[in-house]
């Protein structure tokens, strides 16, 4: 399962979090976020990382030109569109950056809203479901209604986000079977400063689950 830790701002934390087991790291390219990092800061954080770690830039309502330039300047391998981007816009991003993974984040308000997911799947590589908050775009610590997602089976891989923590991750994964998970504030000391003890605890919990599955418990 993919594990994305999002909102990294410090190069030494990106290396430590990758060593603990993250398969993807997220960098916030939204200037209004307290976790915002420039393309230069992303470059410093991703340069020491192994090639197999996905390096995802999170954008919200940026232009194609801004996204393109940030990817080129930073070494990102994926682009997460976290604003009100249309399916057509997602397609344009994919065409301008064909080597880059395109993730569309949907901030889910209701079951009807979730149906939008179907419209996006042919224009993107991966969906990410996050909680809706009226004032904040992401990193809110709010959980989704997991029960509402139990029948969610999109035709592309999907990541579960929104208020996940080392404490609730096993409960979430007992109800849902996403292709990956995404955590930010649940493993933080303060916005942009990750708590490495919490990240380590997260991976301990995930390993205990693998072990239980393997032993047939």
Ligand X SMILES: O=C(O)c1ccccc1NCC(=O)[C@H](O)[C@H](O)COP(=O)(O)O
Tell how strand 101-108 and strand 54-59 pair up: unpaired
CA-atom Rg of the chain in angstroms = 16
Inter-axis angle of helices 196-214 and 11-20, to 10 degrees? 20
Give the N- to C-terminal CA distance of the chain in Å, as an integer: 19
Q: How far is the CB of 34 from ligand X (least distance, A)?
A: 6
The structure tokens listed for 181 are 């998970």
The answer to whether residue 91 is catalytic is no
11: how many CB neighbours lie within 10 A of its CB?
17
- Regarding 184 and contact with ligand X (CB under 6 A), the answer is yes
Contact 84, 61 (CB under 8 A): yes
The residue from 17, 37, 58, 93 that contacts ligand X (CB under 6 A) is: 58
- Regarding 178 and contact with ligand X (CB under 6 A), the answer is no
The residue from 13, 14, 33, 62 that contacts ligand X (CB under 6 A) is: 33
The answer to whether residue 6 is catalytic is yes
Nearer Cβ to ligand X (15/107):
107
Nearer Cβ to ligand X (70/185):
185
The residue from 18, 26, 46, 79 that contacts ligand X (CB under 6 A) is: 26
The dihedral through the CA atoms of 4, 46, 35, 18 has a sign that is: positive
- Regarding 130 and contact with ligand X (CB under 6 A), the answer is yes
Binding site for ligand X (CB under 6 A): 6-7, 26, 28, 30, 33, 35, 58, 60, 82, 130, 137-141, 161-164, 182-186
Which residues are designated catalytic? 6, 130
């Amino acid at each position: 399962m993919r594990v994305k830790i999002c909102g990294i701002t410090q190069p030494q934390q990106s290396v430590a979090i990758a060593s603990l087991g993250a398969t993807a790291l997220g960098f916030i390219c939204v200037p209004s976020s307290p976790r915002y990092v420039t393309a230069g800061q992303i470059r410093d954080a991703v340069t020491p990382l192994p090639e197999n770690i996905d390096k995802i830039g999170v954008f919200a309502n940026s232009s194609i030109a801004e996204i393109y330039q940030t990817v080129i300047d930073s070494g990102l391998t994926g682009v997460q569109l976290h604003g009100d981007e249309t399916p057509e816009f997602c397609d344009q991003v994919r065409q301008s950056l064909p080597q880059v993974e395109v993730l569309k984040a949907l901030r889910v308000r209701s079951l009807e809203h979730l149906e939008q997911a179907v419209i996006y799947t042919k224009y993107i590589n991966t969906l990410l479901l996050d909680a809706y908050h009226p004032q904040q775009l992401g990193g809110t610590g709010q959980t989704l209604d997991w029960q509402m997602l139990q029948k969610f089976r999109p035709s592309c891989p999907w990541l579960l986000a929104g208020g996940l923590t080392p404490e609730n991750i096993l409960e979430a994964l007992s109800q849902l079977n996403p292709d990956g998970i995404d955590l930010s504030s649940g493993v933080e000391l303060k916005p942009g400063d990750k708590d490495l003890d919490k990240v380590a605890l997260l991976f301990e919990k995930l390993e205990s689950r693998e072990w239980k599955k393997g032993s047939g418990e």
